[in-house]
Amino acid sequence: MVQVTLEPLKIPDRLRMPAVFEREWTEPANKLRPRILLPAAFTGPSPIAPGEHRVFIVFNRKGGAGKTTTTLELACAWAAMGYTVRIIDADPQDAGLTGWLAPVYPEGLDPKHRLTLKNVMYGEAGLDEATYYTTRYKNLYIVPSYEDCAVVEYDPAVNGERTLRRAIKRSEAPVDITIVDCPPKVGKLSTFTLAIGGEVLVPSQLSGLDKKSNEPLRRTIADAQEEYDVRVRAAVLTAWGKTIISRSVGNEMAEHYPDALVCPVRRSVDATTAPDENQSIREYNKRSTTTRDFDQLGHMLVAPRGAAE
Ligand SMILES: Nc1ncnc2c1ncn2[C@@H]1O[C@H](COP(=O)(O)OP(=O)(O)OP(=O)(O)O)[C@@H](O)[C@H]1O
Ligand SMILES: [Mg+2]
C-alpha cells in the first residue's frame, strides 16, 4: 500500500469562516453566514509540545451526527500539521473508521489474533499493542474495532469504567493526539469513552430530530462532568446550510456549551462520496468547502508546532 502524506492547505483568507466573539445567529435563515462562534474566554489554540499528549473524544449518542466524519477529518488536519495522531475506533459497526482507514496488519497474521479495542477492554492487551501504525495516511494510527467488540456492551465481565482511561494513561507510543470516535449508543462503550476525560467535541446534524436529542445529550455530558475532567471544546454543526434549523440548532448548541466553539462544517457532496472511495474528504477534494471547514476547526483546537502561543 502506498501511504498518502497529508499536506497543509493554503486557504485564502476570503474563503475562511470569520471567527467572532458572538453566541448567536440573528440574521434571516436565507442570509445566514457561516462563522465560528467563539466563547468569551477563548484565548486561541496552543501547539502540542514534544512529549505532551492531547485527548479528544468525539461524542454524541445520536446516530448519524457526524462523529466518524469529524474524527477522521480532524485527525487528517492534525496529521497534515505534522502531528502523530491515533484514532481509537470505539464504534464496532462496520461503517466505521477501521473499515474506512484499512490498517495494515503484520503479514500472515490470522485475523483471529489481531489485537483490537476488544482486547484492550478485556484487559488482554495494552493500548500500544492494539495500535496499528500503518494506515492509508502517514502519521495516522488506529486502534481498530470490529463487530465482535460489541460483546463489551452486554458482558458483565467488562465493568471497568476507567479501563480506557487507564489504557491511555499507560500508553507510551509516540503519539501527540489521541482522538476517539464514539458509538451511537447509550451503553458501556460510550460511557467509558467519556470517563477517559479530556476535550470533548460534539457533532450534531442540523435537523429537528437531532435537535430533540441535544438536551438529553447535554445532560449526559453534564453528569459525566461531575465525575470526570470533561471539557466541551467544540460543537460541530454537521452538513451546515442556510436553513432555519441550522440557525436554531447552532444557537442552541452555543447556549448548551457556553465554553465551546460552535463551528459550522458546510454540507457538500464530497463528504458523502469520499467514504465510497475509501478516502478522507481532505484527500478526495482538498478544495472542498467541507475540507476547508474541518481544517479551520483543526487549527482552532490545536496550533501547528512552532506557532507562537
Ligand atoms: N459536511 C457534510 N456534508 C454532507 N454530508 C455529510 C457531512 N458530514 C457528514 N455527512 C454525512 O452524514 C452522514 C453521517 O455521518 P457520520 O457517519 O460521520 O456520522 P456518525 O455520527 O459517525 O454516524 P453513526 O452514529 O452511524 O456512527 C454520513 O452519510 C456522512 O457522509
Ligand atoms: Mg460513526
Please indicate whether residue 178, judged by its CB atom, sits closer than 6 Å to ligand 1: no
Burial of 63 (0-12, 13-18, 19+ CB in 10 A): middle
Position 137 scores a pLDDT of 96
Write out the three cell numbers for 292. Answer: 476547508
- CA 89 to ligand 2 center in whole angstroms: 9
| 91 touches ligand 1 (CB under 6 Å) | yes
Residue 236 and residue 11: Cα distance in Å, rounded? 20
Ligand 1 contacts CB of residue 171 (under 6 A): no
DSSP 8-state secondary structure symbol assigned to residue 129? T
Spell out which residues have Cβ within 5 A of ligand 2, the ion.
Answer: 67-68
Instruction: Decide: 68 in ligand 1 pocket, CB within 6 A.
Output: yes
Ligand 1 mean position, distance from CA 157 (Å): 32
Q: Is the CB of 187 under 6 A from ligand 1?
A: no
* pLDDT for the residue 308: 58
At residue 148, the pLDDT reads 87
- 91 CA distance to ligand 2 centroid (A)? 7
The DSSP output letter for 234 is E
Q: Is 176 in the pocket of ligand 1 (CB under 6 A)?
A: no
* Cα gap 104→111, rounded to integer Å: 11
Average pLDDT, the chain: 94
Q: Which atom of ligand 1 is nearest to the CA of 265?
A: 1
Output the residue whose Cα is nearest ligand 1's atom 30.
Answer: 272
Residue 255 half-sphere exposure, CB side, CA atoms within 13 Å?
Answer: 11
Residue from 94, 246, 272 whose mutation best tests the ligand 1 pocket (most atoms within 8 A of CB): 272
Closest-CA residue to 200 (of 73, 53, 71, 72): 71
> Tell me: the pLDDT tens digits for 99-152?
888 899 988 889 889 999 999 999 999 999 999 999 999 999 999 999 988 999
Q: Which residue has the cell 494510527?
A: 141
Beta-bridge partners for 160? none
Atom number, ligand 1, closest to the C-alpha of residue 205: 12
Q: Is the CB of 67 under 6 A from ligand 1?
A: yes
pLDDT in tens, 195-219: 999 999 999 999 999 999 999 999 9
Distance 76 CA to ligand 1 centre (A): 16
Q: Which residues contact 112 (CB under 8 A, 6 or more apart)?
A: none
Domains and CATH numbers, the chain: 13-301 (3.40.50.300)
Positions of the chain with pLDDT under 50 = none
Output phi, psi for 267, to 5 deg.
Answer: -65, 140
Cα(86) to centroid of ligand 1, in Å? 20
Nearest CA, atom 4, ligand 1: 267
> What ranges in the chain are assigned the alpha helix state H?
67-80, 97-101, 117-121, 163-170, 188-194, 208-227, 244-256, 269-273, 281-284, 289-301
Q: Given this model, what pLDDT does residue 1 score?
A: 78
What's the rounded Cα separation, in Å, for the pair 43 and 39?
Answer: 9
Ligand 1 pocket test: pick from 62, 69, 74, 76 the residue with the most ligand atoms within 8 Å of its Cβ.
69
